[in-house]
Structure 1
């Protein structure tokens, strides 16, 4: 039975969404093709009608996730300082620590992106630089934008590594206070 082009596109989108969540929760390298397809109710063999390889899927996940992060965290250039601070407060929250599958890909997949081929890393660089550019425009500082981006991603990684919610919360609140202080001082 042949499927329509829209069905194939819908299936590809379901696979991307499901795989993104799995990758951010469990790590991309740990999830096999069969497991990714089973999550959306299909067999492993159907995978190759959507992607030529697992690496191609990973590249698509990175592009999709970082594009969405840019949309959420920059508002396509319409982000004000106040909205940026609100976004950063949400980013540095316990909800973000506890729900990696629905959060930013950088803390969850950063190490895997760093080990990926240059095409994936270039894709990540493109979207990260676009986010940086948006924040630098708001903050009127390239270096401050890089510092805040790095601080936020790092704080989330550290908080997720810890067991105690009190210490996790302390890492997040301390990081947010420092970021807010840097923004106010600039």
Structure 2
């Protein structure tokens, strides 16, 4: 039985969404094609009508997730300074530590992206650079934007590695305070 083009697009989107959540929660390499397809109620054989390989799916996940991060965290210029501060506070929160599947892909998938082939890394680089450029316009500094971006991702990774909520909170609060100090506008 042939399915409509819209059915194929809907299935592809379900696969991308389900795989993104799974990857951010448990890592991408931990689940095989059969498991990814089973999660959306299809057989593993159907996978290849949507993606040429598991690596192609990972590339699409990176593009999708980092694109969504840019939408949530990006801005248009210096007028978005207060919005950026609110986004950074939310980014460096216990909710983000405890729910990796609903947040930024970089802290969850960064190590896997780094070990991936050049196409995945280039896709990640494209979106990370777009986010950095957006923040550089807001902060009026390329280097400060790179520093804040790196500190946010690193703080979240460190907080997730820790077992004690009080220490996790301390890492996040310390990072929030330091970033706020760095990006404070002179009055």
**Alignment TM class, shorter chain as reference:** over 0.9
- Separation in 2, partners of 1:136, 1:143: 8
Q: CA deviation at 1:78?
A: 8.3
Q: How many residue pairs were aligned?
A: 186
Query: What corresponds to 2:43 in structure 1?
Result: 43
Matched, 1:177 2:177: yes
Query: What corresponds to 1:89 in structure 2?
Result: 89
Q: Deviations over 1:39-96 (max 9, x none)?
A: 1011111101100100000000000000110010014558611000000000000000
- Separation in 2, partners of 1:63, 1:90: 22
- Separation in 2, partners of 1:133, 1:75: 9
- Separation in 1, partners of 2:78, 2:182: 21
- Separation in 1, partners of 2:149, 2:24: 19
Query: What corresponds to 2:128 in structure 1?
Result: 128
Query: How do residues 92-171 of structure 1 correspond to structure 2 at under 5 angstroms?
Result: 92-171=92-171
- Separation in 1, partners of 2:83, 2:38: 39
- Separation in 2, partners of 1:98, 1:132: 25
How does the TM-score come out when normalised to structure 1?
0.97
Q: Secondary structure at the match of 2:184?
A: helix
Query: What corresponds to 1:72 in structure 2?
Result: 72
Q: Deviations over 1:127-162 (max 9, x none)?
A: 000000000001000000000000000000000000
Structure 1 residues without counterparts, runs of 5 or longer:
none
Q: CA RMSD in A?
A: 1.3
